[in-house]
Structure 1
Amino acid sequence: MPAARPTTPLLTGLLAAAALLAGCAAAPSRPADAETTQRRAQARLALASAYFENGQAQTALEEVERALEADPRSAPALGLRGLAQASLGLDGPAQASFEQALALAPQDADLMHNFGWFLCQQRRWDESQAQLERALAQPGYRGRPRSLLALGVCQARAQRWDAAERPLAQVLELEPSNGAAALALAEVLLRRGDAEQARAQLQRARWSAAQADAPALWLAARIEHRLGRHEAVQSLGRELRQRYPQAPQTLALDQGRFDD
Structure 2
Amino acid sequence: MSSLLGAKRLESMTRWLAGVALVGAQIGALGVALPLPAAAQGAGERSTSSDESDPQRRARIRMQLASSYYADGQLATALDQVKLALAAIPDLPEAYNLRGLIYAALGDDALAAESFRRALDLRPQDGDTLHNFGFFLCQRGRYAEAETYFDRALNAPQYRSSSRTLLVQGVCQSRGGDLARAEATLTRAYELDAGNPATAVNLADVLYRKGEFERARFYVRRVNGQTELQNAESLWLAARIERKLGNDSGARDFGNQLRDRYPQSREAAAFGRGSFDE
Q: TM-score, normalised by structure 1?
A: 0.88
Which ranges of structure 1 fall in alignment gaps of 5 or more residues? 19-31
Match of 1:171 in 2: 189
User: Which residue of structure 1 lines up, in the alignment, with residue 18 of structure 2?
Assistant: 3
Q: Which residue of structure 1 aligns with residue 33 of structure 2? A: 14
* 1:53, distance to aligned residue in structure 2 (A): 2.1
> How has the CA–CA distance of structure 1 residues 247 and 223 changed in structure 2, closer, same or farther, with 3 Å as cutoff?
same
Q: Tell me, which stretches of 5 or more residues in structure 2 are unaligned?
A: 1-15, 38-49
Task: State the shift of 1:254 in Å.
Answer: 2.0
CA distance in 1 between counterparts of 2:59 and 2:221 reads 48
Counterparts in 2 of 1:242 and 1:142: CA distance versus 1, 3 Å: same
Q: Deviations over 1:103-160 (max 9, x none)?
A: 1100111110011111111111111111001100113211101101110111122221
Distance 1:90 1:39 in 2: 29
**Match for 2:205 among 187, 197, 202?**
187
Is the 1:15–1:75 contact (alpha carbons within 8 Å) kept by the matching residues of 2?
no
Are residue 72 (structure 1) and residue 87 (structure 2) matched?
A: no
Distance change >3 Å, CA 59–CA 5, structure 1 → 2: farther
Please report the RMSD computed on the Cα atoms of aligned residues, expressed in angstroms.
Answer: 2.2
Residue 113 (structure 2) aligns with: 95
Counterpart AA for 2:176: A
**Shift in Å, 1:86:** 0.9
Cα 1:6–1:109 shift into 2, 3 Å: closer
**Bigger relative contact order, structure 1 or 2 (CA pairs below 8 A, ≥6 apart):** 2
> Does structure 2 retain, via aligned residues, the 8 Å contact 1:16–1:74?
no
Matches of 2:57 and 2:163, distance apart in 1: 32
1:33-182 correspondence runs (5 A): 35-182=53-200
Match in the other structure for 1:24: none
Larger Rg belongs to: 1
The alignment-based identity, stated in percent, is 42
Q: Return the letter of the residue paired with 2:17.
A: P
Deviates more, 1:166-175 or 1:183-192: 166-175
TM-score, with normalisation over the residues of structure 2? 0.82
Contact 2:150 2:169 in 1 (8 A): yes
Q: How many residues align?
A: 246
Question: Which structure's residues are more often helix, by fraction?
Answer: 2
